[in-house]
Structure 1
Amino acid sequence: MPPRYSYWTIILNGTATSFRSATRDELIPTLYQLKKLDPKAVLKWFARGRLWESPSEARAAAQQRRSRTRTGAKETSRDRNWRPGGTHRDPKARTAERKKVTRGHRTNSERGRPKGGKVH
């Protein structure tokens, strides 16, 4: 049987139990029995990695998220020079410029050489 990614589950002491079902009606008798032992037991809907009060709440949140991305409001917009962490600049660019200055690199035209490369 393939795993389900959306299901009803019983939450006991803040953690999920192994009681899971696609329909709420199958878990109601078990929930009543567990509530006799612990009145804090609740039934929640699990979908997309989160717990929800109901499937309709999960659908509404998904629809709101989809409509937000359709309107063009991206959560994060990055240009092509973006890099993770720090100042988001190319770390090699700074040292490459420094090497050119300290070593006195010049182009072939500045040296008086023809454009083809080495002079024999």
Structure 2
Amino acid sequence: MITLAPPIKEQQLKALGDQVAMVVLFSGSAPSGAGELTDQEMLVEIPTPAPAYTEYANARLVMAATEAAMVTRSGVVGFARLFDAQGLALGDISVGGPASNADLKFTHESAQVYAGALVRLGSWSIG
């Protein structure tokens, strides 16, 4: 594992943030290295604004709030995948409850979503 100098980490995260166009929430466990999906199911696609981040603070990229998107399949969110505008997977991020160290925190302990409901990403960060 490499530990990057703070200015390099900031540059890399901002470059990633400039590319993010969509966050997709999936059920199941994230494949290693943002690999091929196997038995994971897509629950909702959430477009991000451009740019997708608002600032870099405390060694994390603070991501911009999104508009609401409709959940297409009910399930428990296991991870989120970031995509660029061409549909290329950029990476996977962790999902958890408010007390977790996850990148994307739900306001309640359960990460259950229901088909037909609207989901919006408010305060989230990656790093």
Q: Shared topology, TM-score over 0.5? A: no
Q: TM-score normalized by structure 2?
A: 0.19
By relative contact order (CA 8 Å, sep 6+), the higher-ranking structure is 2
Q: Give the greater-gyration-radius structure (CA).
A: 1
TM-score (norm 1): 0.19
